[in-house]
Structure 1
Amino acid sequence: MIHTLNMVWNPSEGIDLGFFLLRFYSLSWVLAFGLGWYVMKPIFMRENESVDSLDKLFLYTLVATMLGARLGHVIFYEPELFSNDAWSILLPIKTEPTLHFTGFAGLASHGAAIGIIITMFYIQRRV
């Protein structure tokens, strides 16, 4: 009976392509933004807005989401990176203790929300 309480939580991290691990988290980012653009395109067309303005809005939102999520994580959870390993804040590398590729890790959804809100104010003022 006691063995049923022992749960091994080791889910698959992604799809192993042999030379590359396609992580589910990365796939969900691509899927979310792809579906977002796909859903917004008919809305823009129905409202007689140009698809070029959707593309610009999409690009600004994508960059704001990624930068905001990364900076939000660093500011709220790893502020020591500003002094210890500043390169790893926006680049997918770590320089401490040695230089190695890590990929983008450490994203905060509340940082992304703040980044998107600031960007929407910027776009609204600009247009």
Structure 2
Amino acid sequence: MLAFITWDVSPIIAEIGPLTLRWYGLLFMSGFVVGTFVLSHIYKSEGVSPRWVDVITLYMLVGTILGARLGHVFFYDWASYKDHPLEIFKIWHGGLASHGATLGILLAVWLFSRNNKFDYLWTLDRIVIVVAIGGALIRMGNLMNSEIVGKPTDVPWAFVFPRDTEHLRPVGIGETLPAGALQVMPEPGSSPMVAVPRHPTQIYEALFCVFLLIVLYAMWNRKKEHTPRGQLFGLFVVLLFSFRFLVEFLKEDQVAFERGMSLNMGQWLSLPLILVGVWVLLRAGKNPDNPYGYAPRDLNAEEAGKSSVRVKM
């Protein structure tokens, strides 16, 4: 039996002169790196040149960062940013929202598909497999930052986050601390505070993303180019945001205005995405003129061109 885990890991890997290497940044970028290998395998398996992977990865990178940043600004902290608009550009100060990243990815994939003659839903069906990878790694980055913590609990796998100073509470005079709790001093000379065991919601979400990765890849691998158009995307959106809706009940509020709300901002933002996913899923593969979607099947032509060059040389 586990008996609470004290998570006091530094979010910083190393400091090299003026540069600070953080776990979150490393894990965030690792999602794109790992994703390119997986997406290249998927594209090659369907006769699509892997050269498109570099192109869509660039679209995805820009869409994810801009969407996540603007989502945080407008969904969670507009009251502050409207008076200090230049702070919007200071991403290194923190503040990214996954729902905003979702909208940014949807727009980025639409632009990629339109500009390169890919079917939009065909592209989304494949891209959600690698998005699941990125989601798992980003949530592990949140864990390394000791952020997006869960509510207090006495489950044996609970984590104690002494670095999460936003959710420490004062120590009462003569108070007996709950099992697993730690007494900490956020700053030298400050009053003692208590870090109590909490749900490690970052791990819950990371594990669910791994589950989604396995399910989606298995479904794609079974049918590949005959995967019903929209099926993987619709299923991904329904499952991911339904889980997000439920896990929010275990999380602490991320911003002050959420206190007292029947549902928090993350839950309200998840509801329309779940409905979109259900609509897409119900229509998956139902278009008789385009049941599987389409993409440039240019891998064989590209390889033939390379072979011709080698023969001439």
Normalised to the residue count of structure 1, the TM-score between the two structures is: 0.75
Assess if the C-alpha contact under 8 Å between 1:69 and 1:107 holds in 2. Answer: yes
Give SS of 1:12's match: coil
Q: Aligned in 2, Cα 1:47/1:17: closer, same or farther, shift over 3 Å?
A: same
> Which deviates the most, 75-84 or 112-121?
75-84
Write the deviation string for residues 90-120 of structure 1: whole angstroms up to 9, x where unpaired: 244xxxxxxxxxx251000111011111222
Hey, what's the Cα distance between the residues in 2 that align with 1:124 and 1:67? Answer: 19
Assess if the C-alpha contact under 8 Å between 1:69 and 1:110 holds in 2. Answer: yes
Give SS of 1:124's match: helix
1:112 paired residue number: 101
> Which deviates the most, 103-112 or 46-55?
46-55
In the TM superposition, what is the alpha-carbon distance from 1:40 to its structure 2 partner? 1.0
In the TM superposition, what is the alpha-carbon distance from 1:80 to its structure 2 partner? 2.8
Hey, what's the Cα distance between the residues in 2 that align with 1:106 and 1:59? Answer: 21
In the TM superposition, what is the alpha-carbon distance from 1:47 to its structure 2 partner? 1.8
In the TM superposition, what is the alpha-carbon distance from 1:88 to its structure 2 partner? 1.8
> Which deviates the most, 35-44 or 58-67?
35-44
Q: Which amino acid aligns with 2:107?
A: I
Q: Give the gaps of 5 or more residues in structure 1.
A: 93-102
Alignment of 1:81-92 (within 5 A): 81-92=80-91
2:159 paired residue number: none
2:271 paired residue number: none
Normalised to the residue count of structure 2, the TM-score between the two structures is: 0.33
Q: Which amino acid aligns with 1:53?
A: W
2:112 paired residue number: 123
Q: Which amino acid aligns with 1:64?
A: G
Assess if the C-alpha contact under 8 Å between 1:81 and 1:88 holds in 2. Answer: no
Alignment of 1:16-55 (within 5 A): 16-19=14-17, 20-55=19-54
> Which deviates the most, 11-20 or 28-37?
11-20
Assess if the C-alpha contact under 8 Å between 1:72 and 1:111 holds in 2. Answer: yes
In the TM superposition, what is the alpha-carbon distance from 1:121 to its structure 2 partner? 2.5
2:298 paired residue number: none
Q: Aligned in 2, Cα 1:104/1:36: closer, same or farther, shift over 3 Å?
A: farther
Hey, what's the Cα distance between the residues in 1 that align with 2:25 and 2:96? Answer: 12
2:74 paired residue number: 75
Write the deviation string for residues 65-104 of structure 1: whole angstroms up to 9, x where unpaired: 0000000000011113443221221244xxxxxxxxxx25
Q: Aligned in 2, Cα 1:35/1:9: closer, same or farther, shift over 3 Å?
A: closer
Q: Please provide the CA RMSD for this pair.
A: 2.4
Give SS of 2:13's match: strand
In the TM superposition, what is the alpha-carbon distance from 1:18 to its structure 2 partner? 4.3
The size of the alignment, in residue pairs, is: 113
Q: Which amino acid aligns with 1:16?
A: A
In the TM superposition, what is the alpha-carbon distance from 1:25 to its structure 2 partner? 0.6
In the TM superposition, what is the alpha-carbon distance from 1:10 to its structure 2 partner? 4.0
Give SS of 1:59's match: helix
1:100 paired residue number: none
1:11 paired residue number: 9
Assess if the C-alpha contact under 8 Å between 2:81 and 2:87 holds in 1. Answer: no
Hey, what's the Cα distance between the residues in 2 that align with 1:110 and 1:22? Answer: 26
Larger radius of gyration: 2
Give the 4+ runs in structure 1 shifted more than 6 A. none
Hey, what's the Cα distance between the residues in 2 that align with 1:18 and 1:55? Answer: 29
Assess if the C-alpha contact under 8 Å between 1:81 and 1:89 holds in 2. Answer: no
